[in-house]
Amino acid sequence: MLNVLKINRNIRSIRRYLNIVRVLSTYGFDQVLELLGLADVVVRSRRLFRRSIPDIARLTAAERMRLVLEELGPTFIKLGQILSTRPDVIPHAFVHEFEKLQDNVPSFSFEEVLAQITGELGGPVEQFFAEIDPVPLAAASIAQVHRARLKTGEEVAIKVRRPGIVEVVESDIGALMSLAGLAERHVPGSELYDPVGIVREFARTIRREMDFSREAHTIEKFRDNFIKTGWMYFPRVYWEQCSRGVLTMEYVAGIKVTDRQKLVDQGIDLKLVARRGADSFLEMVLTHGFFHGDLHPGNVLILPDNVICVLDYGIVGRLDDELKTFLTDILSAIVNRDMDEVVSLLLFAGDISDSLDIRALKRDLFNFIDGYYEIPLKEIEVGRMLMEFIEIITLYSIRIPSDLMLLAKSLVLIEGMGRALDPAFDMVEHLRPFIAKALRQKASPRRITRELQQVLSSYLSLARNIPRDLKEIINRINRNKFKIDLEHRGLDKFTADFDRSINRLSTSMILAAVIIGSSIIMQTDKGPKFMGFPVFAFMGYTVAGFVGLWLVYAIIRSGRM
């Protein structure tokens, strides 16, 4: 039974893989597919699916790729949304286009909602809920949300996972992993971007987002982190009505942060809300190292008494102590316009290629800082400045952790909301106390002692392992079992072209032999005859003619005469 399921899953993956190739070819990405070594698949797909998109030539590559992701469905829309936060991986034009991707999907039926809840919670819906509104509050590619009431009377919001979405996503991840592997083998320089690593990171992110039990724990963790902060509110989770595919939490009725007039009418202090929002986000990042990664205005509600409530915890970012230290140092250096320190930090912490032009990097960074030199600090948008800084270092193929990219994007959103609420909002003013606190902690005797202990422990471990490792290497050499694996990159296309050439040459030789044999038979009078000619000779010429024409057609079709 397990083998049958595995075969079915593999068939679905292959089918999806071919569909991805077809859509890419339809939208004019044949050159990309040829780079991946899929030229033969492209030719076959053209024969089977002769579909054309009107005005496709007028669209840019970025616009065409956005259409590709939209046609391929939820998994690829999510991939595009995540890539829109990674200007270090894709060009700026693609980042701008992918930001337009929305989960514009129809809601699934109420009957399916009830079936999902019953299957996930292990009992009839009436056992857990007094009533459920059949009209969804929101619908997205992974789930949709319904308002409901518990049997104990509490108003709740139920987030229900879309039926079959897990199987669809897993099939898409398998196809994406295959394409990423082809990119690493065939596309020169792809190792700088680590396609397989990007797909693995995406798979981890979307799998976490589909597991609603993780999201429930995330809400609880945020509540614990801000338990002493009276002006941050997090919905209550009802664990008895939760599972991996169903999340039941308190229904929060608030005012959207974008509804400025309604906020004013309700007596909300807009400046205070802007200040509290900035402080809470910076506390998430620089104190807890655990922050909300999808802080667009639709996920932020304002409650009475200037209380802020954040929704949708599917995407979160994490910064360990090392990343927090790097972020604090780099922000401090940028705000203080200390360019030598910025370059030093990048060289120490970034994933740098061997061909890095350090002198050119310093020149561009100095120009970047000079652009902000005359601007008063209160007018500097820290988020946009950080995004511009990331764009510069991306030009030099310096890779930085994805969580820092997510942080920069979130910082832009927070600043945008802050300035919409309060035109005089100054993020630098809020940032300075957190940076000063982080720098004090970095220089504290306890922190220095702990770091020294960690360094000493690492060196002691290295010293213990060196003799053993050397002994193992020598023993392998003595037993003739010391192996060095060499990987040839970029030879797959050459091998495929060489095989194709050999096959054509072999076919040509066989044709020549058939023609010569038929000519010899033609000179004899033995065997059956047709219209006065030997039948076997006539059959030989016919087969040779058809195969020869097919071979000439294939050569002309390939464009390589």
Let me know whether 342 and 429 are in one domain: yes
Residue 37 has what pLDDT? 66
Q: In this structure, is residue 214 part of a structural domain? A: no
Let me know whether 172 and 304 are in one domain: no
Q: In this structure, is residue 233 part of a structural domain? A: no
pLDDT value at 546 more than 80: no
Q: At what angle do helices 165-186 and 492-522 cross, to 10 degrees?
A: 80
Let me know whether 350 and 430 are in one domain: yes
pLDDT value at 354 more than 90: no
**Quick one: what percent of the chain has pLDDT higher than 90?**
19
Q: In this structure, is residue 160 part of a structural domain? A: no
Q: In this structure, is residue 425 part of a structural domain? A: yes
Which has more confidence, 93 or 526? 93
Let me know whether 349 and 476 are in one domain: no
Q: In this structure, is residue 120 part of a structural domain? A: no
Q: How large is the average pLDDT for residues 172-192?
A: 78
Question: What tokens appear for 314 in the block?
Answer: 């599917």
Q: How large is the average pLDDT for residues 485-506?
A: 66
Distance CA 215, CA 157 (A): 14
Measured CA distances, 229 to 10, 223, 310, 493, 532 (Å): 50, 9, 14, 60, 104
Let me know whether 370 and 400 are in one domain: yes
Let me know whether 473 and 519 are in one domain: no
Let me know whether 185 and 295 are in one domain: no
Distance CA 313, CA 299 (A): 9
Of 4-18, 365-379, 417-431, 450-464, least confident by mean pLDDT is: 4-18
Q: In this structure, is residue 113 part of a structural domain? A: no
Write out pLDDT tens, residues 182-191. Answer: 887 777 766 6
CB count in 10 Å sphere of residue 294: 21
pLDDT value at 163 more than 50: yes
Q: In this structure, is residue 227 part of a structural domain? A: no
Write out pLDDT tens, residues 242-281. Answer: 999 999 999 998 999 988 889 999 999 999 999 999 889 9
Let me know whether 70 and 32 are in one domain: yes
Q: Which amino acid belongs to residue 425?
A: F
Which has more confidence, 474 or 189? 474
Our CA angle for 333, 325, 280, nearest 5°, is: 90
Active-site positions read 294
Distance CA 409, CA 315 (A): 13
Q: How large is the average pLDDT for residues 544-561?
A: 68
pLDDT value at 405 more than 90: no
The label of the residue with tokens 């229904």 reads 251
Quote the mean pLDDT of the chain.
Answer: 79
Let me know whether 349 and 308 are in one domain: yes
Q: Which of 428, 460, 488 is the last residue of a domain?
A: 488
Q: In this structure, is residue 141 part of a structural domain? A: no
Let me know whether 434 and 324 are in one domain: yes
Write out pLDDT tens, residues 106-136. Answer: 788 999 999 999 999 998 999 999 999 999 9
Residue 480 has what pLDDT? 72
Measured CA distances, 222 to 234, 236, 313 (Å): 7, 11, 10
Task: HSE, CB side, 13 Å, CA atoms: give it for residue 111.
Answer: 0
Question: What tokens appear for 494 in the block?
Answer: 């050459």
* Range(s) of the domain holding residue 524: 492-558
Let me know whether 368 and 477 are in one domain: no
Distance CA 343, CA 323 (A): 16
Residue 532 has what pLDDT? 64
Let me know whether 465 and 549 are in one domain: no
pLDDT value at 178 more than 90: no
pLDDT value at 216 more than 90: yes
Q: Which of 414, 443, 472 is the last residue of a domain?
A: 443
Of 10-19, 57-66, 435-444, 551-560, least confident by mean pLDDT is: 551-560
Per the structure, the count of domains in the chain is 4
pLDDT value at 4 more than 50: no
Highest mean pLDDT among 181-190, 341-350, 371-380: 181-190
Q: Which of 410, 425, 443 is the last residue of a domain?
A: 443
Residue 389 has what pLDDT? 77
pTM for the structure as a whole:
0.71
